[in-house]
Amino acid sequence: MEANKIKKIHDFGQSIWLDFIDRHILQTGQLQKLITDDGIRGLTSNPAIFEKAISGSDDYNDDIAALSKEGYTDEDLFFELAIKDIRAAADLLYPIYNDEEIKGADGYVSLEVSPFLALDTAGTIAQAKHLWEKVERDNVMIKIPGTQPGLSAIKQAIAAGININVTLLFGLNRYREVVNVYLEGLEERLAKGEPIEGIASVASFFLSRIDVLIDPLLEEKGLPDLKGKVAIASAKKAYEIYKELFSGPRWDKLAAAGAHPQRLLWASTSSKNPDYPDTKYVDALIGPNTVDTVPMETLDAYRDHGDPADRLESNTEEATEVLDQLEGARISLDALTQQLEDEGIKKFNEPFHKLLASIAAHR
């Protein structure tokens, strides 16, 4: 019998997390089956995923009816529903988190702060602390967007001992800033004599949306050969930055105190362009000490026809050349990734508005 292609990815040091949650997969044993059969080692959620889960089924109706009697706002009611699912998923994944060989590297479930707070530092840190305390699970990560206002909140959350999934990363300069605030948060905690060995974090680098935005510009500039290559080139450069920043005297001091590197997590790994293979981004970026969070349809595709191999550090010269050619064509990757960040905030706000309207209608 042929080895499971998803499980095979683990042989190259990468963890596969599921980018999906709903009550159906929790209650029918489907998530447990994915953990057992495919070796899924974590789970991520976001407002759009919960909007589909809650608006698209009757599974939450009884809870909405019961909670509606308790005077919750629509947003607070949503978080009560979400926390129930997050706890259930965290409990299913806890044996992975608690595995001696993995030692807390995996088994995490991510819950995002309100997308309405993406540009609100004080509101983000307050809600991150509230959700962390409310969920009451060591193997949960609170998702905070890597916006400029989010950077301070990320640092404060790490210093407070909260596991953080930094989401909505597109640009290399912003990624450097994210790693720096992670290190600063650990250093602040260490300076206060508080433990840092139990803290986990990932930096979620979004992929396919980069190519969706840039491919038409490449066509206009007469660079069609670069289409579909910029996101992967950026990710390979991000991994070089990861290796650079998680080495040397500054990191060694933290590592000696038990700190874990903030792993890169590849997000938005489903191919948005039908001309590209549906496993394109998963195949291209398999490599050690990384995570790939994969939606259900991409997971099914990979199980069927994925081609697992260690490719993250191959063809790095080509990655450099791709980004150099962009610069030569006066295409500003920094400006475009900032545009993607701004659009990303809007793309999470819209389903959250829709979700709250759905909850109000259910009530």
Q: Is 143 a catalytic residue?
A: yes
Dist CA 187 CA 203 (whole Å): 18
Q: Tell me which residue has tokens 């509606």.
A: 68
Half-sphere exposure of 326 (CA within 13 A, CB side): 26
Q: Which residues pair with 109 in a beta bridge?
A: 43, 140
Burial of 100 from C-beta contacts in 10 A (0-12 / 13-18 / 19+): exposed
Catalytic residue among 143, 155, 236, 280: 143
Report the DSSP pairing between strands 140-145 and 164-169. Answer: parallel
Nearest to 286 by CA among 60, 6, 64: 6
Residues 6+ apart with CB under 8 A from 252: none
Dist CA 175 CA 205 (whole Å): 8
Characterize 35-47 residue by residue with b for buried, 16 or more Cβ atoms within 10 angstroms of its Cβ, and e for exposed: beebbbbbbbbbb
Cβ neighbours, 10 Å, residue 143: 22
Q: Tell me which residue has tokens 């981004």.
A: 281
Q: Which residues pair with 202 in a beta bridge?
A: 165, 263
Q: What length does the chain have?
A: 363
Q: How far is CA 57 from CA 51, 60, 99, 359, in A?
A: 10, 7, 34, 12
Catalytic residues: 143
